[in-house]
Amino acid sequence: MTHKLTLTRRRLLAGLGTVGVASAGAGLGTTAYFSDQETFANNELTAGEFDLTLDWQVTYTGPNGFEYVTASPDEYRNDPDDPTQLAENPDFFNPFVEGPDDVRDPIFTRDELSMMRYGVDFDELDADRQATVETQFRSQFADVPQDLVEARPIIDLDDVKPGDQGTVSFSLHLFDNPGYIWLNGSLTEARENGHTEPEASDPDTTGAPDEVATGLDNDVELLDEIRVTVWYDTDGDAEVDAGEPVLLGGNADPTANPTLRQVLALLSTGDGIPLAGDGDTGADAVGRACFENSTTYYVGFRWELPVDHANQIQSDGVTFDVGFYAEQCRHNDGGGMGAAVAIRNAAAISLAGSETADTGGSPPSALGFDVENGLAEPIALTSVTVVPADPSLTLLSDDVADPGSRYGYEVYVDASTPGYTDAAGGVGLPGTIALGSDGYSDGADQEPILTSGEVADATLTGFRDAGGASVDMSGRSVTISLTYRGETSGTTGTEVVTVVG
């Protein structure tokens, strides 16, 4: 029989970047971005020697009880009586029922895929056929977001009420070498969204009604009401089962669990929370057990909105990301990188009022952000991959007559050694732009270089739809993957972040 797995999903690791929205009738909102990243810091590696991939299951418990929300991989229907197994089809040549059902499919082993394709076990294949099966095996997992053919929410809830909860069970897969893995994340934005009449009269309500904050030092009460549990989801069922090691929370009384604000503070400090390959919740970062390659591990993240709070959270909203960072074990001790390369302070930028020639009344179609080099050596930025969450954004093109302006280039990085790339005809989105070589014989052909500790101002210009019209990037989500090379060590890395204009 033929197992129709997609074989074209192998891409450079980026962020699992889609939007999940939760809002109550009173205006309560929660948005989560999920991303992962890997680095080659402190290693001498070539492409393909170390790779972290993901699959996931999202569930929600609300007014309709327990529900499966979305999953990956999800090509087949699962048995409703045993969701860990696929539903059987009486058709001999198509034994599984095709079609997504929001339940994570069981992962096919190499032997199963080999038997499906060639009729023999994996070990009996020659090297070429083993390579084919290996590609098919790895294609079950996502190197994201490029592997997501279209923007697809992993959480999409529209009526979250006190007492509801949601869970994401991540499945982690390291290939080629064992590695250390950290759970990380950060607050993207916290918003008061005004004060309703009940919220305004609640004595626990603090802060200005129009407060919007990107740091954790804010007065948005929702961050203190959502409670979080993080655990090793041993069986991958997105449920905290008896005996599964709990890293944070896990109490029967959710108000005893850490708040989202507290958890985000931990996730955004250094490399995040170090995970242990043996599930030891008390292990120190240095010397902890590695995650073995070619072995599946599960980590769960659950949020809850307890029932015992008052009106102070009405209309509040919060946006945050949760992801993973990995280093190979060889040549590392589990202590992590500490400082690293970071993308911060993204914002939509209007071309109006600039020195460009086509600015009359144009919307803020450019996206600006800071690039911070936290490493102890200069770095060269080598490429940038741009993946908008909105599939209608199909082109990045400056279309500006004045190349003397930063808006006259698709990519402009104002560093101590600046770099700017002007791509002929623009760049199709999602797409990757090699920095330092744009096809023109001009001064733009150099990679931007940041000294240690430098913060450079970068601009992507301008986002357009299929008709070539400029698109207002305010409030729009874009995943940016920035690759870099250490100018002293020669090591390479990738910083991945989902930003909102």
Q: What is the DSSP letter of 70?
A: E
Distance CA 325, CA 327 (A): 7
The Cβ-side half-sphere exposure at 104, using a 13 Å CA radius, reads 25
Residue 241 corresponds to which amino acid? D
CB atoms within 10 A of CB 68: 17
| Cα angle: 411, vertex 414, 416; to 5 degrees | 135
Residue 12 pLDDT: 20
What is the predicted pLDDT for the residue at 194?
53
Q: Are strands 427-428 and 477-486 parallel, antiparallel or unpaired?
A: unpaired
Does residue 99 have a cis peptide bond before it, meaning omega lies within 30 degrees of 0?
Answer: no
Our CA dihedral for 429, 430, 435, 437, rounded to 10 degrees, sits at -60
CB 343 within 8 A of CB 493: no
How many angstroms separate the CA atoms of 225 and 34, rounded? 21
CA–CA separation, 187 vs 185, rounded Å?
Answer: 7
**What is the residue-level pLDDT of the chain in tens, covering all 501 positions?**
322 222 222 222 222 322 223 322 223 344 444 544 544 433 333 434 677 888 888 888 888 889 888 888 888 898 888 888 888 877 766 778 888 898 988 888 899 899 988 999 999 999 999 999 998 898 888 765 444 444 344 554 445 678 888 888 888 988 888 889 998 887 877 888 554 444 444 445 455 667 788 788 888 888 888 899 999 999 888 889 999 999 999 999 999 999 989 998 888 877 789 999 999 998 888 889 999 988 889 999 998 988 875 555 666 777 777 778 888 887 778 877 655 788 888 888 876 544 333 444 467 888 999 998 888 789 999 999 998 888 899 999 986 655 567 788 899 999 999 988 888 888 999 999 999 775 555 555 689 999 988 999 999 988 999 988 889 888 788 888 888 988 887 877 878 777 777
Beta pairing class for 317-328 and 29-38: parallel
pLDDT tens for each residue of 436-467:
775 555 555 689 999 988 999 999 988 999 98
d(CA 174, CA 234): 16
**Calculated CA dihedral for residues 192, 197, 202, 204, nearest 10 degrees:** 10
- How many Å apart are CA 177 and CA 436, to the nearest integer? 31
Provide the 3-class DSSP secondary structure of residue 263. helix
Of 38, 12, 345, residue with least CA distance to 184: 38
Contact 336, 270 (CB under 8 A): yes
Instruction: Look at residue 444 in the predicted model and tell me its pLDDT.
Output: 57
Q: CA–CA distance from 381 to each of 14, 112, 484 (Å)? A: 16, 42, 4
SS3 at position 8: coil
Q: How far apart are CA 426 and CA 449, in angstroms?
A: 23
Q: Count of CB atoms within 10 A of residue 161's CB?
A: 14
End-to-end CA gap in the chain: 47
Distance CA 136, CA 156 (A): 30
Helix axes 127-138, 110-118, angle to 10 degrees: 120
Identity of the residue numbered 118: Y
pLDDT tens string 45-90: 343 467 788 888 888 888 888 988 888 888 889 888 888 888 887 7
pLDDT given for residue 199 in this prediction? 44
Per-residue DSSP letter, 308: -
SS (H, E, C) 196-225: CHHHHHCCCCCCCCCCEECCCCCCCCHHHH
Sheet holding 65-72, edge to edge: 65-72, 51-62, 165-175, 296-304, 227-231, 246-248
Residue 351 to residue 370: CA distance in whole angstroms: 18
User: pTM for the whole thing?
Assistant: 0.62
